[in-house]
Structure 1
């Protein structure tokens, strides 16, 4: 059950499943560890190519540019003075044999020209009243060796006109650590037939037209070196260098600087630090992006290319949302404070100027990082917990699946990034940033009650009502007071935990507050339920939502 805050059902369920520790097979733990290890790898330009997009689709024989080869099956039909229909195989000499016509050489003929060639051959025997129609039924399958630095070298089967992408994809792709996407060779009878640079395909859509034969070898050679790119570019990571150096213009054309980019800094590779026995300082050279001929600058393997913006902002844009009569977007000088903004806001009679809210993107990102870290820690606890018997292990595995599914849902939560403006804060000390959102809440004469109550609802505010009174108006708590936790949220986003005598205190609740009734976790397995409850609190405070099951 989802509401502004979903609380009760998920907590009750977690209290139930958390009674025992959980046992998961070692393979699940290893798989999780492998995923974490992979996330630490640097992006490699082009590493998105071999993810299965080629291996599942083979060549279509209707391609008009396909060249007929040995083993292809052709459907030959003659009509008129002679009736003949048969599927013929192109023999090792590249011929098909039609009775009373003889052998016809079709090797190397394009699919588009096949019918015309056979018609001419037939008409040399039958001068009139005989027509021919030839159709390529299926092309010959070939077996090709994948060698060199692919993930799974071996012998792979496909159509003769399949691209090398499909065969490399079948072999698991190029090894990212040492394999090259720019040094790929196709060999036949130990002779080089094609030398292929896959970056030509990625950057310009160019790929040589080829047909493979039985026994061909696709060899993926080692990479010669890489440069690393970071900063204001569309792609950040490593870019493979084909030779001893590369033009900076070629690298930039591939990684695409964004609109903010103004300068490029090249930090020379570490191996250039020692020269003729003398130690020299590593050089860093900077170039204006729009005033430099990038094709005249060479970069060597191991270099770091940093693309930056040297533009200093002079103003910022801040969204002003909620109940007020001002513009909804205000432009302020760089370094302006919240006090400067509030001076420009025109409040109206419905504006709650005592509960100003501030939301910031950098805070949202940090809250997301902290939430992900808490979820990862909880996941590790679930995956590594032990059981004392087979029966207990089976039970805990089922419980673990429920918790892991909840964790996956929780990972989708996006915190709001609220900067809590507590009572007595100094607005002139709050320096605004580009993209900040300031919300002026409306005055509300309602109190919302959520969670473990019979009827979650909004109740008209009365000054003489306590927290307990408002909960009673919502049908009362679903459990004893000892088994629930009470949170009171103020209009500015601040949370107050209500305990003991505070439940009956009449001055705590104010107009616009929200009351959340949360079920306490079962403490029989304290650590696991405590961890879950802490994450639920964390989501509630950062995103104003609790994920239920």
Structure 2
């Protein structure tokens, strides 16, 4: 017996040790990155059913509404007959008024309701009787949603409610199979209405439908669609109603871009695929069939570009140049001043900024994954990492808001005649400055007057010093032209700093995981170089 007890104790201890080696910090669940168009459908019309109809109901005040069984009317008579009460339309389509009898109102338009009731009253009371009759509320009905909706079933609403409300309650139309153009309202097996929701989207047309208990809203399958992409406001699937649909009709629906010049149709033809191209001004009579890819392109050839010029100069702030012009062509037109720093010209480009942003987001995603998957050997270590993980994750959220500058670095000795400019480029002519800016992990980030021969250590001391040893920091120097240089091994060099330089003192975070410290340091460096921002953790 003692032997078995001892074995059991050993087993418990061994299990405890094994579990202690796999303790993980409790960090918040990673949230999926939300795309810019994450709330938009890739099917034309799919945005209709995002909950915008289900919570709104008609009260029956529409003047075209026809009175139906179960509706509640407010009836008021005065003069020779004093009567006031609510009356419900019975199964025969009547309301009952004392001393008058049943009055048939079934099918009467709301606008004519008062006149119809008064006419019936005047058959008994020839004079001195006035009437006021209004629809208090329409009847509640239960309608079947069938076909290719997300959640088929029986749904309740008002008889005057639009079919959009019922489809919305059913979760909308299945985008893989359901049709937005073939929807039927059926009663007792017969089709009363056929609805094309594209007519509602594109022209605001919706038939006036009054529903009854047991009606069926049936969403049929789609007959085919085409894909649209390129210079359009909507990219995705567009459902066709007919096998041959005018191309002009589709482009009018997806709102072709103002820069669009040509349309290419890539369409299946039996076992082969062919392509046709048309100018947007020559598409009258062109039809497309299901399965076609419609590519709307801009084939404009620029003859000239405009470049913004800011900073210290006396020329125009927007200069127009021929297509293919170089930075030299632009600088030849710039009127410099005595304060212009010609050697520190800076060039910024949107495409570079977008690429820098992509790289930064990729680095932050990898860092976030490292934080969320880091393991700890003990419970104490796990608790410490929990705190660190929260701090790093909050810093990552801040880092995602950083916008890179998109600077094209013009290295020392570059030839401006080889730098071809692009539309939208921005050129900055910096002024000559006798200051040194210092950022980051110093007590007082500030601007300091340049002193020839002063070292980085000297400038840091003038800024109040750092919270830790400067040698444990990552120090960068940005030259007036935007180029960065590492200064970690030149902190005491008297030739490292010149007028107009900027010193970035970046912290090296002291985190539990060595790899995590390295990853965070790399991202801090990346942000400093791409955005000229010292983002401390």
After TM superposition, the score normalised by the length of structure 2 is: 0.88
**Alignment match of 2:409 (pick from 420, 425, 435):** 420
Root mean square deviation of aligned Cα = 2.8
Q: What's the counterpart of residue 274 of structure 2?
A: 283
CA shift, 1:251, in A, is: 0.9
Q: What's the counterpart of residue 5 of structure 2?
A: none
101-110 vs 204-213, greater mean Cα deviation: 101-110
Name structure 2 gaps, 5 residues minimum: 1-22
CA shift, 1:440, in A, is: 0.8
Q: Deviations over 1:315-353 (max 9, x none)?
A: 111111111111111111111111111111111111111
CA shift, 1:532, in A, is: 3.3
Q: 1:40 to 1:62 in 2, by over 3 A?
A: closer
2:48 is paired with a residue whose SS is coil
Q: What's the counterpart of residue 492 of structure 1?
A: 481
Q: What's the counterpart of residue 32 of structure 2?
A: 32
Q: What's the counterpart of residue 222 of structure 2?
A: 223
Q: Which has the higher Rg, Structure 1 or Structure 2? A: 2
After TM superposition, the score normalised by the length of structure 1 is: 0.86
Q: 1:62 to 1:379 in 2, by over 3 A?
A: farther
Alignment check: 8 A CA contact 2:227 2:291 kept? yes
Q: 1:390 to 1:478 in 2, by over 3 A?
A: closer
Name structure 1 gaps, 5 residues minimum: 1-19, 275-279
Q: State yes or no: 1:266 paired with 2:265.
A: yes
Q: State yes or no: 1:113 paired with 2:104.
A: no
399-408 vs 198-207, greater mean Cα deviation: 399-408
CA shift, 1:66, in A, is: 2.4
Q: 1:232 to 1:62 in 2, by over 3 A?
A: same
Alignment check: 8 A CA contact 1:24 1:384 kept? no
Alignment check: 8 A CA contact 2:69 2:92 kept? yes
Distance 1:63 1:399 in 2: 62
Q: Deviations over 1:258-293 (max 9, x none)?
A: 222222211122xx242xxxxx5x321111221x24
CA shift, 1:401, in A, is: 5.8
Alignment check: 8 A CA contact 1:145 1:154 kept? yes
**Alignment match of 1:536 (pick from 519, 524, 536):** 524
1:268 is paired with a residue whose SS is strand
CA shift, 1:200, in A, is: 0.9
Which aligned pairs between 1:43-192 and structure 2 lie closer than 5 A?
Answer: 43-192=42-191
Alignment check: 8 A CA contact 1:266 1:305 kept? yes
Alignment check: 8 A CA contact 1:382 1:400 kept? yes
Which aligned pairs between 1:418-497 and structure 2 lie closer than 5 A?
Answer: 418-497=407-486
490-499 vs 122-131, greater mean Cα deviation: 122-131
Q: What's the counterpart of residue 312 of structure 2?
A: 323
Q: State yes or no: 1:248 paired with 2:242.
A: no
CA shift, 1:48, in A, is: 1.8
Distance 2:150 2:326 in 1: 56
Distance 2:519 2:88 in 1: 69
1:91 is paired with a residue whose SS is coil
461-470 vs 389-398, greater mean Cα deviation: 389-398
Q: 1:80 to 1:344 in 2, by over 3 A?
A: same
Q: 1:175 to 1:127 in 2, by over 3 A?
A: same
1:492 is paired with a residue whose SS is coil
Q: What's the counterpart of residue 6 of structure 1?
A: none
Alignment check: 8 A CA contact 1:361 1:436 kept? yes
Alignment check: 8 A CA contact 1:23 1:385 kept? no
Distance 1:371 1:68 in 2: 64
